[in-house]
Amino acid sequence: MKKKIIKFSKSYQNIFNLKKNFIKFNSLEHKRIRKINDIHSKGKKRTKCKNCETKLHKNNLFKSFGINYKLCRNCGHLNSNFQENEKLHKLLYEKKSILTFGNVYKNQYMERVNKIYIPKVNFLKEVINKPLNILDYGCGAGHFIYALELKKYKAYGFEINENVKKLVPKKIKKKIFYSGNLIEVINSNKINCLSLINVLEHLDNPNRILSDFKKSNAKYLYISVPLFSFSVLIEHIFQNVFPKQLGGAHTHLYTEKSLNFIFKKLKLKILGEWWFGTDIADLMRSFIVQSKFL
């Protein structure tokens, strides 16, 4: 039996140039996140955990950027106090939305591919050294698809947000589906690996897509999610710095415990883990931005 691969950390120096826009556009992103949070706070009260659907207790764990959060006592998942509402969904993902994505992601396409997504492809190959046909659900501007193509994988994308179409290079435009049934797309294109790169934290019902994966012919699931980690504490302290981990379109966060709850429920075997985090990057960014307010 192959031993599970566990990897830690990655070089921040390698991607520092890409993160400069987080500082440059802090004020604009801060206003955008605040607006999204304000709309989110108008939703119905959340009574059940998004991850395990157990009834949440009454006590809040903390409040950040105007939103209270609870930690599920059953599975350890971090939940906001509000359900996602239709108005928020429209503002985030409908065509011509002004809140759909920030200024920080609009440029340096190939640098993102090479420094952020190629390493993800390399890790996937290290864990599963077999031919893969991959569908990247929530593919955005197609960075991961582009990286997969460079490494000679057969790859497709699935994206509900048409606002990012203008950022997709011509080379992979025909590789992305913007409508259709996920299970049918997987099965008809002989997909054996479904990737969810920074997707589950955006969905109003993440368990639905995980259920579709189990019903499909795909064998492997490749996910990347922001976690309830030290970075969230940094964000909570530096309220003048826009939050990347929690807030805005991220209305809930996973923990190691809540992820393992899912894997056990779906009867999935973990083949590899990469705990790279962004704690140092977020701390440095917060110090730099906060110094401008002193």
Report the CATH number at residue 9. Answer: 3.40.50.150
Section 139-160 average pLDDT: 95
Percent of all residues in the chain with a pLDDT value above 90, rounded to a whole number = 71
Say yes or no to pLDDT of 95 above 70.
no
Q: What is the pTM of this model?
A: 0.91
Q: Give yes or no for a contact between 90 and 97, defined as CB atoms under 8 angstroms apart.
A: yes
| pLDDT, tens only, 179-198 | 899 999 999 999 999 999 99
Say yes or no to pLDDT of 102 above 80.
no
Determine the Cα–Cα distance for residues 93 and 95; give it in Å rounded to an integer: 7
Percent of all residues in the chain with a pLDDT value above 70, rounded to a whole number = 95
| Structural domains of the chain, count | 1
Domain boundaries, position 192: 5-291
Please state which of the ranges 56-60, 105-109, 242-246 shows the lowest mean pLDDT. Answer: 105-109
Determine the Cα–Cα distance for residues 291 and 85; give it in Å rounded to an integer: 36
